[in-house]
Every structure is written in structure tokens, then in C-alpha cells.
Amino acid sequence: MPETLVTVVIPTRNRADYLRSAIESVLSQDYAHVECIVIDAASTDDTIELLESYGDRITWHSRPDRGAFDAINEGWRLGTGDVLAW
């Protein structure tokens, strides 16, 4: 029986200074079946470079949005998990 996949969405905009710790928190969980999706609201700081540094360990999209809940909903639409979190 396959393990339950958990999708964790992180909305962000110009928060590169906090984003690394949020991503690392998700990726460092003892439960191995977690997908991390970051939805960036077209940041103008170092967010994109940070996201690129994770390679295929995370999924991310950068585009203007209508706020955090719009970003969370977009991430959940992209996710494939049985359990959704943010």
C-alpha cells in the first residue's frame, strides 16, 4: 500500500529572507512523502534565485496573484497529494 502524499504550499512575495527556513522545514520532515510547492507573487528580491537553487526538490511558480489565498489555492490545484497543507 503506497504512503499518503502530503502537499505543502508556501505562498510568498519578496520574503527571500524567510523563505529558505520555510522550505527547509518542509523538506526536513521525518515523513518522506511530502511535496513542497512554492507560489511566488512575482517577487523582485532574491526569491527566484533561491527557488532555482532547490532544483527538482521543490515545485515553484512565479506570477502575479490576488494575495496569499489565491496562491495557496493555485498550489493546491498543482499538487498531487492526498493531504493538503500550507
Q: What is the pLDDT of residues 16-62, one digit of tens each?
A: 999 999 999 999 999 999 999 999 999 999 999 999 999 999 999 99
Q: List the grid coordinates of 37.
A: 510547492
Mean per-residue pLDDT for 75-84? Answer: 97
Hey, what domains does the chain have and what are their CATH numbers?
A: 6-85 (3.90.550.10)
Q: Which three cell numbers stand for residue 53?
A: 537553487
Maximum C-alpha span of the chain: 44
Flag whether pLDDT at 2 surpasses 80: no
In the predicted model, is pLDDT for residue 1 greater than 70? no
| Predicted model pTM | 0.94
The rounded Cα 45 to chain-centroid distance in angstroms is 17
